[in-house]
Amino acid sequence: MHLTDAEAALLARSDATGLAARLVVDAAVMLGADRLVEIDSAHIDGCLYHGDSGVLFAEHLVALGGRVAVPATLNVGALDLIHADVVRTQGHRRAMALRQAKAYEALGCAATWTCAPYQVGHRPGFGRHVAWGESNAVAFANSVLGARTERYGDLLDICAALSGRAPHVGLHVTANRRARIAIDLAEVPARLLAEDTAWPVLGAWIGAQVGDLVPVLVLPDGLGPWALPRSASPPGRPDQDTAVGGRAGEWAGTGLPTTEDRLKALGAAMASTGAVGLFHVVGVTPEAPDLATATQGQPPEATLRPSLGELRQARDRLGAAAGDGVDAVAIGSPHLSQAQADLLVAALAGRSVSLPLYACTNRRVLEHLATTGADRALAAQGVTLVVDTCVVVTHVLPQSAGVLMTDSAKFAHYALPNAGYRAVYGSLADCVETAVAGRLTRDESIWR
């Protein structure tokens, strides 16, 4: 593996940067990298408490004078640092989680505490190399922003941030970003694709089919091409930030109402049921202006054509009702965006919930809600706002296991192993109506 003189000098250092650089190089050698790449930023997943060793490692880096060499944001932690009573964790676990949070902030990481850093301004430019952890964020950075990152695990992520380097492997390499599997959506009804609730299910189905391969979605006739927003730069312009979508709510072109929230839900689901770190959508994502570009001029290795029946089965695998009993409702994985938080406020329409309803989001959205008093109104209506963390990574849900309704494929996938709750999947509107009614209320019409 070739190292530049600057990189060789990093290895010789005796401080935290030198330690981090040596670990990155060791990982690169194991992965068969030919060189390192300079990164523009990092998103750190290692800040979530899983045990004391992660805390001690971070504190060791601090003791060695560690400081991130590139801008770095923090993923969700094990505590809600804004609302002290939301997370039930106490004693040693709470003390260590606080120490871990303080250590990562001392290393110079921004206290974003969100699984969706792209919603709080961390948006690397097209073609730029970064080192991101958190599976949905990796998929979003690669697919929607057109940046380049591998799936960085705990501890290696902060080492990349300290050294400013990452191994030149995987999705950093142009050839590995080629779409291998085509997903032809011609058999999926347009009325279903027009609903937000379809995209997590579609992502869950795709992830289970493709594993870690790169898929490209081909829209039905009459629904494409979706044009990139005018603010986005054309594909192939790595000097520009080509963050697609935005907060406007619709794409240019044919006007099919899709947003970044649908793309984030799509990627999060693929990364949960599979290991997808990059997907393309023809005419939408920046590396797929057409199918040939997405496949780099090669024919797809396979073409999959999901039917309405297959997607309905995928929806049921996320969580099918055995009755109408629901014990809690949780939304916001990935974290609720500002637009989704506004939808929650509108959907409740001044009503109160009779079931616990947890809405997980980031500090920026909390500030947005506070400007209108919506945060206090939601609390008065019985909604628990969860910030800095979420219900499947720490102790938020009531201790007794039961049934959790959610609009998130990721929550549905992890609810049982992580929180002990069986899942029921539905739309955001379904979740709100269920929480208000106190029993399962779900619109089945679009799935028929």
308 and 330: one domain? no
- Mean pLDDT, the chain, whole residue set: 91
Tell me, rounded to whole angstroms, the distance of Cα 257 from its chain centroid.
21
| 42/162 Cα distance (integer angstroms) | 9
pLDDT at 226: 38
Check residue 143 and report its DSSP letter: I
Question: Does 239 reside within a domain?
Answer: no
Look at residue 248 and tell me if it is in a domain: no
Are residue 67 and residue 150 in the same domain, yes or no?
Answer: yes
The reply to whether omega before 71 is within 30° of 0 (cis) is no
Give a yes or no: residue 338 inside a domain.
yes
The domain that holds 156 is classified in CATH as 3.30.499
Statement to judge: residues 326 and 278 lie in one domain: no
Q: Check whether 245 has a pLDDT greater than 80.
A: no
Mean per-residue pLDDT for 371-394? 97
pLDDT tens string 346-375: 999 989 999 999 999 999 999 999 999 999
Burial of 254 (0-12, 13-18, 19+ CB in 10 A): middle
Q: Same domain for 165 and 199?
A: no
The count of other CB atoms within 10 Å of the CB of residue 440 is: 18
Which segment of 149-163, 176-190, 235-249 scores lowest on mean pLDDT?
235-249
- Among 315, 343, 368, the domain-final residue is 315
* Residues 270-299 pLDDT 10s: 999 999 999 999 988 999 999 999 999 999
Decide if pLDDT at 427 tops 70. Answer: yes
Helix axes of 260-273 and 198-210: crossing angle, nearest 10 degrees: 30
322 — pLDDT class (breaks 50, 70, 90): low
pLDDT in the model for residue 362: 98
Helix (H) or strand (E) holding 272: helix 260-273
- For residue 244, pLDDT over 50 is answered with no
Q: Is the pLDDT of residue 195 over 70?
A: yes
Q: Evaluate whether residue 413 is within a structural domain.
A: yes
Greatest mean pLDDT among 182-191, 259-268, 381-390: 381-390
Nearest to 33 by CA among 213, 186, 172: 172
Same domain membership, residue 183 and residue 158: no
pLDDT at position 321 is 67
Looking at the 3D structure of the chain, how many domains does it have? 3
Q: Quote the tokens at residue 332.
A: 């916001």
Same domain, 292 and 423: no
pLDDT tens digits for range 199-241: 999 999 999 999 999 999 998 875 543 333 323 333 332 333 3
* pLDDT above 70 for 407: yes
Neighbour-count burial of 293, counting CB atoms closer than 10 A to its CB (0-12 exposed, 13-18 middle, 19+ buried) = middle
Q: Which of 78-82, 160-164, 222-226 has the lowest mean pLDDT?
A: 222-226
Q: In the listed set 142, 159, 174, which residue is the last one of a domain according to the structure? A: 174
Same domain, 150 and 61: yes
154: its two tokens: 């705990």
> At CA 82, angle to CA 81 and CA 85, rounded to 5?
85
Residue percentage of the chain with pLDDT more than 90:
85
Domain boundaries, position 136: 5-174
For residue 246, being part of any structural domain is answered with no
3-state secondary structure of 83: coil
Indicate whether 260 pLDDT > 50: yes
Same-domain check for residues 216 and 275: yes
Q: With 90 as the cut, is the pLDDT of residue 400 above it?
A: no
- Indicate whether 282 belongs to any domain: yes
Average pLDDT in the 107-117 region? 98
The pTM of the full predicted model, rounded to 2 decimals, is: 0.92
Tell me the three state secondary structure of residue 353. coil
43: tokens are: 């998103």
Digit-coded pLDDT (tens) for 27-76:
999 999 999 999 999 999 999 999 999 999 999 999 999 999 999 999 99
428: in domain: yes
Structure tokens at 302: 């396979």
CATH value at residue 435: 3.30.499.10
Tokens of 53: 């060793």
One domain for residues 169 and 182: no
Residue 63 within any structural domain of the chain: yes
Nearest to 172 by CA among 157, 140, 150, 144: 150
Residues 344 and 309 in one domain: no
Q: Residue 366 carries which DSSP code?
A: H
Do 130 and 73 lie in one domain? The reply is yes
Same domain as 131, residue 86: yes
